[in-house]
Structure 1
Amino acid sequence: MKIKVRLFGAFRNYGNGSLLEVELDPGATVAALREALRVHVKEPRLLSDSAFADETAVLIDAQVLRDGTTVAVLPPVCGG
């Protein structure tokens, strides 16, 4: 199945602009997507510290993804 991944912040350096398409097995989870993105993202800590969200909610690693879903990868931020 194909998952569209929207990239923000530091992740824009790893995709074609702000969007990346990843092929996953049917029934794959957010954790599987996170692992698949390691091929593209050369900073493992950045990937492991980031949140994943769909159009309505922040997703947990156990969340099963559907074909055609668009997922945003939200890098950690800090401020004050």
Structure 2
Amino acid sequence: MLKNKCSLNQAALDFILSYENKISSGEEVIISELVKLFRKSAYYEIKFDTYVKPPNGAIWYGLKRSGNWTRVKPGIYRKL
């Protein structure tokens, strides 16, 4: 039997992929706001609170991996 092992980075990427389907091209997001939404989402697991690194880096990772975002300035991204 395989256990469902989910990393913070994978959960953040899955969250970003789901989130970007709900917004229009050209919309800008602030990473700190995405972190708040991520923490309230079904993708966030309580065990992530015990990690040394906060979710900010994982959200950035999700934005970069998605390939559908461009950096406007530090902490702000625009959906392509």
Q: TM-score range by the shorter chain?
A: 0.3 to 0.5
Q: What TM-score results when the alignment is normalised by the length of structure 2?
A: 0.40
Structure with the larger strand share: 1
The structure that has the greater radius of gyration is: 2
- Higher helix proportion, which one? 2
Q: TM-score, normalised by structure 1?
A: 0.40
Structure with the greater relative contact order (CA < 8 A, sep ≥ 6): 1 or 2?
2
